[in-house]
Each structure stands twice: as structure tokens, then as C-alpha cells.
Amino acid sequence: MSIRSFLPGRLGFGTAPLGNMFRAIPEEEAAATVNAAWEQGVRYFDTAPFYGAGLSEIRLGTALADRPRDEFVLSTKVGRVILDEVEDPSARDLGEKGGLFAHGRPNEIVNDYSADATLRSIEDSLKRLRTDRLDIVWVHDVAQDFYGDEWLAAYESARTGAFRVLQRLRDEGVIKAWGLGVNRVEPLELTLDLDEPKPDAFLLAGRYTLLDHERALQRLLPAAQEQNVDIVVGGPYSSGVLAGGQHFEYQKAPAGIVAKVERVKELAPQHGVGIKAAALQFSLAHPAVAAVIPGASRPSRVAEDAAALGEKIPAAFWAALRAEGLIAQGAPAPGV
């Protein structure tokens, strides 16, 4: 099923920050941020057990508990099972994402993409989210940034385990759609080449943004479009560096990226454009992209996102970015 048939708008809310990503967020601030998203008309919420070892799911579930379940779309992920046993969050091996959720819950996180673990993960997520059903389930992080040279082994485990379970659950009507949620294009390209099972959509974080889109543009997005596999873009602000933060790919932004951001920031006001508007609208301009899900940990940020989506951006701005090689020649731009 195309997720466009049930997604309630093109702007969703990515809840990784609610898992205490980068910093410890007070409970009331987390709740106020979800409420702000709701007040702005956001009705699609994405989370994962990985975000703070269940913390994001717990907070999201609490914030949405009194909202009518038929009025919003919910996605979470499988591939990590959260145990009752505790560990040192700062000592976890998170591949390239080391220390990302050092402020999250101390519960032990086990990587497991098997059929049994997938079913258990869904069951646990339903409890944390205080709901009776999930709309979309993503297979989380079967890619190089977490598993290095072992990523294909993790992928194969998911292909024979999680993929098949999720396809069955979708066919039985237990969930509406499934796919992969990753930060790299290769696992998605691999999945599109499979005869079976067939995903409905992909959540691609950080790889179709103003700062990084050439690779996805070449093969992945055209192939996804051809196969009617929708793309949800996560991390449209590239871990925050496009929204005033200092992180790119969840780490301190390198000099080359900072220079690129500075140039975009110089051009944007010359055309009366906000950088958040440029980032969100660029990601949404590709016809393969169904929605974009920026994260936020402060209520004011959500209002900025909603406003950015409605901003009018002149064609001359995109032409200026293209002329300086800041966006690829073949990348669609809104209204151009």
C-alpha cells in the first residue's frame, strides 16, 4: 500500500530527540514539544526503541495517550530489543553514532533482526506507546554506519527474519506498511532489487538533504519511484547543522560542511528565504518523497517547521544554489 494513501500531510515529527539525544530533556519539555506538534496540525509521529532505550516511545505514548488513535499515524522500528537489565549508556558500541543517547535510559539494548525478536519488539513498543496498533514498522539501521564491514550479515539476518514477518503482518492487516529506516542508500538499493519481500516505503535519514543528496538522486530515488516505494526523509536538517546546530551526521560538523552551510546562509537572506524552509522544501520537491520528519526537542522549533513548509521560495534562489554547485543539476526544486 502506498503510504501516501493514509499519511495525514507531508510534515511529520521525528522523535529521536525525545530519547535525550545529545542532552537530557525534562519531561515537561518533551510533552510540550509533542503537544506543540499536535497544535500545528502534525498527525504523523515516528519513533524507535533505540531512541534512549525506549524513552522516546514512552514519552510519545504518554503525550498521545488522550488523543483519538484514528486521528494520527504512528511508526516505530524493529531490530533492537530493550531489556530490563541495565548497562552503561556511554559505553555502548553504536558504530558512528557513539554517545548519541548517553542521556537515555540505562536499559540494555540488544541488536536482533530475527523473526522472534521482531515480534517481541513490536509487542514491547505497543506497551511503551500505550496503543493497540502501529501503522508503519521500519527495520532499523541495517547499514554500514552501525555495523561497518558486518552490515551485510545484519542485512541478511533482517531479510530472512524481520522483512518476512513484517510483510506477513502487512498482508494480514495488522500493520498498514513496512520498510527500512536507515542512514545509507545501499541497503535500500539492495532491497529494491529483491523479488520478495516487497516493502511499501523507506525512511531515509540524512541522505536526501540540501547538504547530501547526489548519491540518492542517481539510482535510489528513480528506482523507488518506478516501484511505487515511497520515501520519508528523516534528518532534513542534517543532524541540526542546517537549523543553527553544530552537528552533521550526529557528530561535530566538519569544516567543509560548515563552509557549505555558511554559503547557503549567505544566499538565503538575499532571496528572502529562511534556511529551514529551503531544507524542508528541497527534500519534499522530489516526486519520490512522500513526507519529511524533522525532529525537535523544543515547542518553538515545531512552529518554525510548520511555517517553513508554507514559505514561498523564489526560483532565483534555487538557480543561485545550482550555479554555485550547492545543489545537484538534476535535483528537482520546488516550483521550478
- Round to whole Å and give the CA distance between 154 and 139: 11
Task: Assess whether 77 carries a catalytic annotation.
Answer: yes
Task: Assess whether 127 carries a catalytic annotation.
Answer: no
Pick the catalytic residue: 44, 77, 112, 230? 77
- SS3 string, 283-333, reads HHHCCCEEEEECECCCHHHHHHHHHHHHCCCCHHHHHHHHHCCCCCCCCCC
Task: Assess whether 46 carries a catalytic annotation.
Answer: yes
Largest separation between any pair of C-alpha atoms in the chain: 56
- Round to whole Å and give the CA distance between 3 and 7: 6
Amino acid of residue 117: A
Question: Which residues contact residue 243 at a Cβ distance below 8 angstroms, ignoring those fewer than 6 apart?
Answer: 237, 275, 276, 279, 294, 301
Distance of CA 38 to the CA centre of its chain: 18
Beta bridge partners of residue 269, listed in sequence order: none
**Quick one: which H or E segment has residue 255?**
helix 255-270
Pick the catalytic residue: 51, 113, 155, 250? 51
Distance of CA 164 to the CA centre of its chain: 22
Pick the catalytic residue: 44, 46, 124, 155? 46
- Round to whole Å and give the CA distance between 326 and 336: 16
Would you please indicate which residues are annotated as catalytic (active-site) residues? 46, 51, 77
